[in-house]
């Protein structure tokens, strides 16, 4: 700590310096004691408030209110760190966990910014395992896509769905345990996958909300293009100033893997006994998990469409909002095309209004989770979800 009393040496007589120095340092120590007490009170208050709220992963309306990514971000991994690393809402459920930090030396928007080394060490230990899980998710998606439209080429919408479906692995397993009283501990390989795949989700989401032409259609996009877009738009930088800690080479390697997988022919027709071993062992009902992911994505698109529909009505001639609305609408239709649920499209057509449509979609998700359906979604939660 800097001894600020030295600043007085040049403006006070020498015989008074010692006395002032002592009193000033005493005041500093007192202020630090007060700050410590206030910080403890703040932590205690957050703990009380947190305890009075339903954790996102236990909420009947998690997919509606928080979405897949935010809903499971407060969960802890086996290594004792939160999946979201204090970078996501809802902030009340974030815990401050000390981390080793370093200055990033990689070129681009991350250069000279702080990186979380503690989280990076855990993630890199599980890099190969995360790739293997990603490969199964990607392969399963490709098979569903081929069944529906005979197309196996991965486009940017597919990357978005693969990212959300990977996150849904954790959400689906956790949300099915509706009687659980304590927060489940997430395996390190899955928590590491969450860290890696979140980057793909955030890049695609940013493109959607900026109406970037790259995402107007389900066109292929290279790993280098994705990385360049993320770097240019500072997607690697979180709100707290920390940046993505992975090396440029490893990030591009992961993005390549999402695009191409471990085997170019892994999406050929036919199901073998040794296929999707991780998915089957972890979640069992693979079709239900995939339909759950698609339903959560489609619900999110439905909500975003309502938001931008209102923006369009309030701001006549808002071409950007019209384009964003069209992107979410196209993605929602694509999810319906991929889904194996017979009632998916019929229920969408039967929706008479926004409130009915929202409730119908959330209840469809609850059914897939084998949870009880709900009767309504409160006006408060509807306002919160649509007011950004």
pLDDT digits 0-9 by tens, 151-161: 678 999 999 99
- Average pLDDT rounded to a whole number, residues 261-279: 64
83/182: higher pLDDT:
83
pLDDT at res. 387: 80
Helix axis angle, 188-209 relative to 127-149, nearest 10°? 50
Over 70: is that where the pLDDT of 311 sits? yes
- Average pLDDT rounded to a whole number, residues 169-185: 82
User: Using CB atoms within 10 A of its CB, is residue 243 exposed (0-12), middle (13-18) or buried (19+)?
Assistant: buried
* pLDDT-based confidence at residue 1 (cuts at 50, 70, 90): very low
Over 70: is that where the pLDDT of 331 sits? yes
pLDDT at res. 329: 96
Element containing residue 103 per DSSP (H, E): strand 101-103
Question: What is the reported pTM?
Answer: 0.84
Taking the C-alpha atoms of residue 311 and residue 305, their distance in angstroms, rounded to an integer, is 10
Over 50: is that where the pLDDT of 12 sits? no
pLDDT at res. 174: 93
User: Using CB atoms within 10 A of its CB, is residue 129 exposed (0-12), middle (13-18) or buried (19+)?
Assistant: middle
Look up residue 100 and give its two tokens: 């080793």
Q: What is the pLDDT of residues 105-151, one digit of tens each?
A: 999 999 999 999 999 999 999 999 999 999 999 999 999 998 876 66
- For residue 337, the tally of other CB atoms under 10 A from its CB is 14
Over 70: is that where the pLDDT of 236 sits? yes
Taking the C-alpha atoms of residue 79 and residue 130, their distance in angstroms, rounded to an integer, is 16
pLDDT at res. 13: 43
pLDDT at res. 105: 92
Over 90: is that where the pLDDT of 6 sits? no
pLDDT at res. 266: 47
Over 70: is that where the pLDDT of 276 sits? yes
Least confident of 153-162, 188-197, 234-243: 234-243
Which residue in 388, 158, 137 sits closest to 283, CA to CA?
Answer: 137
Over 70: is that where the pLDDT of 19 sits? no
Which residue in 177, 382, 137 sits closest to 280, CA to CA?
Answer: 137
Q: Percentage of the chain surpassing pLDDT 70?
A: 78
Over 80: is that where the pLDDT of 104 sits? yes
Over 90: is that where the pLDDT of 52 sits? no
Taking the C-alpha atoms of residue 333 and residue 78, their distance in angstroms, rounded to an integer, is 38
Quote the mean pLDDT of the chain.
84
Taking the C-alpha atoms of residue 381 and residue 71, their distance in angstroms, rounded to an integer, is 15
Which residue in 246, 257, 253 sits closest to 123, CA to CA?
Answer: 246
Taking the C-alpha atoms of residue 40 and residue 234, their distance in angstroms, rounded to an integer, is 34
């Amino acid at each position: 700590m800097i001894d600020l009393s030295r600043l007085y040496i040049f403006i006070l007589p020498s015989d008074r310096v010692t006395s002032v120095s002592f009193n000033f340092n005493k005041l500093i120590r007192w202020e630090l004691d007060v700050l410590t007490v206030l910080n403890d009170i703040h932590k205690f208050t957050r703990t009380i408030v947190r305890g009075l709220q339903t954790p996102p992963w236990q909420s009947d309306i998690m997919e509606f209110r928080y979405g897949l990514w935010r809903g499971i971000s407060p969960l802890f991994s086996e290594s004792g760190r939160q999946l979201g690393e204090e970078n996501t809402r809802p902030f009340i459920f974030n815990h401050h966990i000390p981390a080793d930090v370093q200055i990033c030396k990689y070129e681009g928007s991350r250069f000279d910014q702080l990186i979380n080394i503690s989280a990076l060490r855990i993630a890199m230990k599980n890099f190969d395992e995360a790739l293997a899980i990603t490969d199964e998710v990607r392969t399963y998606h490709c098979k569903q896509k081929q069944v529906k439209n005979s197309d196996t080429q991965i486009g940017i919408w597919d990357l978005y769905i693969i990212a959300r479906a990977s996150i849904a692995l954790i959400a689906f397993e956790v949300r099915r345990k509706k009687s659980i009283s304590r927060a489940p501990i997430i395996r390190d390989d899955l928590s590491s996958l969450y860290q890696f795949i979140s980057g793909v989700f955030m890049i695609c989401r940013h493109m959607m909300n900026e109406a970037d032409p790259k995402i107007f259609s389900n066109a292929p996009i290279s790993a280098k293009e994705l990385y360049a877009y993320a770097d240019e738009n500072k997607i690697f930088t979180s709100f707290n100033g920390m940046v993505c800690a992975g090396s440029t080479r490893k990030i591009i390697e992961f993005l390549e893997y999402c695009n191409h997988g471990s085997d170019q022919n892994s999406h050929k027709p036919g199901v073998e006994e040794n296929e999707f071993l991780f998915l089957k062992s972890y979640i069992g009902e693979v079709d239900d998990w995939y339909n759950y992911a698609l339903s959560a994505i489609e619900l999110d698109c439905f909500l975003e469409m309502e938001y931008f529909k209102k923006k369009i009505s309030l701001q006549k001639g808002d071409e950007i909002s019209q384009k964003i609305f069209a992107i979410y609408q196209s993605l929602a239709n694509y999810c319906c095309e991929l889904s194996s649920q017979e009632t998916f499209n019929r229920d969408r057509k039967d929706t008479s209004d926004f409130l009915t449509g929202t409730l119908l979609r959330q209840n469809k998700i609850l059914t897939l989770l084998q949870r009880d359906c709900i009767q309504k979604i409160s006006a408060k939660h509807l306002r919160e979800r649509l007011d950004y």
